[in-house]
Structure 1
Amino acid sequence: MSEEQQTVLVVDDEERIRRLLKMYLEREGYGVEEVDNGEDALELAINNDYDLVVLDLMLPGMDGEEVCAKLREQKATPVLMLTAKGEETNRVQGFEVGADDYVVKPFSPREVILRVKALLRRSSTTKFLETETKTKEVLVFPHITIDHDAHRVTVDNQYVNLTPKEYELLYYLANAPDKVFSREDLLRDVWNYEFFGDLRTVDTHVKRLREKLNNISEEAADIIVTVWGVGYKFEVGNS
């Protein structure tokens, strides 16, 4: 593999799905490694610097949620969860343990590729970071401080453990205080979705983000405001 080639670990106990994803990912120029169980997946993901892990939820032995939770204890590697369960509770559980996005089976390979590309454009190459030239290194608000260089968020001087996508969502909103963003805006700019994207992905992340802030400060959680029928905003005017 070339030094610049991005690598993806595909984890699924169905050989047919692994082979399909490997074919499509390699066609797009990614290096691909594959494994069929959670234990080996966790070991590989911890010991190698993959750019992304595509992780099936239902695995024999250690399932995808447990793999993701244990991986998050050590690394922030983006995780795209594959699941045959489309219910809200399963998505929330996946996001809670640190998954960045999910695709419900049966899926379109094109959709998976688009979501992989979106996740791989996250972090320092997210659109709003590429175009933002006046971003402060540290954003300070009542109850919330965001140290962007360290990707660290504190609420009333207590550290908040956020997943990469929760952090990006908070940082994006905080960069434009009191501006209302639609769910479509957030999917486009934070998730980089131009074609595919479940609006409930945004709602679920906002819910988890508020819960984590609320564990320390209700006032901090209340800064993220729902504008009914429109979207969300980071409200500091009444803080």
Structure 2
Amino acid sequence: MNKRILAVDDDESIRRILQVNLERGGYTVETAESGASALPLLLQNHYDLLISDVMMPELRKLPVILLTAQSSEGDITRAYVKGTDLYLTKPFDPNELRTWVGRMLAETQED
């Protein structure tokens, strides 16, 4: 199965380098020049991987809370390795969730 990648960067030469090199590796690569142009692609298509420049005016760090019934140590570790900011298991404490949401939103306002 051919894996699909979306590469997002405001620099056209970087997009082209990513596309050419990854396609040589056998991947299907689409590109977008901004977060705004990437969003419709993400909503309409399935991608196996997203590559994005962090220093783009429209993009910012979006905190992720994972709320799940999976509670093994391996599940939790994999989630944090993949970038989850907070891992909460079900059933969850609504007060704890509100506290974390408030804290994370306050931190994003500081950035």
The normalised TM-score by structure 1 is 0.31
- The alpha carbon displacement at 1:52 in A equals 1.2
| 2:75 matched residue in structure 1 | 171
Higher relative contact order (CA 8 A, sep 6+): 2
Post-superposition Cα deviations, 1:198-234, rounded to whole Å, max 9, x if no partner, equal xxx85x958x34xx439849xxxxxxxxxxxxxxxxx
> Structure 2: which 5+ residue stretches go unaligned?
95-111
Aligned-residue CA RMSD in angstroms?
3.8
Q: Please state if 1:38 is matched with 2:53.
A: no
Check the 8 A contact 2:5/2:49 in 1, yes or no. yes
| 1:21 matched residue in structure 2 | 18
| 1:50 matched residue in structure 2 | 47
Match 1:153 to one of 69, 85, 90: 69
Give the 3-state SS of the residue equivalent to 1:213 in structure 2.
strand
Q: Which amino acid aligns with 1:171?
A: D
| 1:63 matched residue in structure 2 | 59
The normalised TM-score by structure 2 is 0.60
Equivalent-residue separation in structure 2 for 1:42 and 1:50 (angstroms): 12
Check the 8 A contact 1:25/1:32 in 2, yes or no. yes
Give the 3-state SS of the residue equivalent to 1:46 in structure 2.
helix
Q: How does 1:213-228 map to 2 (within 5 A)?
A: 213=88, 216=93
Post-superposition Cα deviations, 1:162-206, rounded to whole Å, max 9, x if no partner, equal xxxxx9x74276xxxxxxxxxxxxxxxx5xxxxxxxxxx85x958
| 1:8 matched residue in structure 2 | 5
- The alpha carbon displacement at 1:153 in A equals 1.8
Post-superposition Cα deviations, 1:66-100, rounded to whole Å, max 9, x if no partner, equal xxx4xxxxxxxxxxxxxxxxxxxxxxxxxx348xx
Equivalent-residue separation in structure 2 for 1:9 and 1:205 (angstroms): 18
Q: How does 1:179-194 map to 2 (within 5 A)?
A: none
Give the fraction of aligned pairs with identical amino acids, expressed as a percent.
Answer: 34
Check the 8 A contact 1:55/1:64 in 2, yes or no. no
The list of structure 1 runs, each at least 4 consecutive aligned residues, that deviate by more than 4 angstroms after superposition, is none
Closer, same or farther: CA 152–213 of 1 in aligned 2, 3 Å: closer
Closer, same or farther: CA 14–64 of 1 in aligned 2, 3 Å: farther
Equivalent-residue separation in structure 2 for 1:64 and 1:7 (angstroms): 23
Aligned pairs, how many? 91
